[in-house]
Amino acid sequence: MLNCASGVSPEQRQRCDEEAFRQVEAGSQSTQLEGGWRLVKSRNPDGGADAISAMHVANSAKSDARLAGLSLQCGRDGIEIVLIVLEPLSRSTRPAVVLMTGGKRAEFEASVIQGGAALLLPADASKLATGDWQGATELSVEIATKPTAIRGAVPIAGLPTALGYLSQNCPAR
């Protein structure tokens, strides 16, 4: 992953995407889904419920190297939307996140989780995933960070199928 900076060749970007998937799969069980989505089940090292998510990597040609992708995961209150970043953020920050699909814009305040490597969006973002995003092919992302924002795009074609698989595999609440 050291050679995955912005400005690399398309072939190197492909190798970076493949390496990111290999790292995810190392401690997980992964199933390829429609549209490049992956259903990922990771064992809880503490013996609790497995972590289950549907993940998609960012389009590296349209994203800066700090945005890794999007994760839809089973949460206590339903499906949670999480953005994965490669540059850890301070847990005390609550960055503004702007998401756009098909000209529709939504802005949220995110919570920094997982040691700064992920941004949990509020429940209203989950409502977009099950509504407005269903027919979209790409999600544009902008995360307000200093000194520069993290910008990118995540392909989301196949989202309805990914959500269906995720819902079937989430533990009963």
In 6-143, alpha helices (H) = 10-26, 123-129
Considering the segment(s) 10-169 as one domain, its CATH architecture is: Sandwich (2.60)
Task: Name the residue ranges covered by the structural domains of the chain.
Answer: 10-169
Alpha helices in 27-83 (DSSP H): none
Q: Are 153 and 63 in contact (CB under 8 A)?
A: yes
The rounded distance, in Å, linking the Cα atoms of 30 and 11 is: 24
- Note the pLDDT of residue 63: 93
Q: Are 129 and 115 in contact (CB under 8 A)?
A: no
Beta-strand relationship, 38-42 and 104-109: unpaired
The pLDDT tens digits of the residues spanning 91-117 come to 999 999 999 998 899 999 999 998 899
Distance CA 144, CA 3 (A): 25
Task: Take residue 83 and report the two structure tokens written for it.
Answer: 């953005």
CA 6 to chain centre: 19
- Tens digit of pLDDT for each residue in 6-63? 556 777 767 766 766 566 555 567 888 999 999 988 765 555 667 889 999 999 899 9
Phi and psi torsions of 91, nearest 5°: -65, -20
Does the pTM of the predicted model rise above 0.85? no
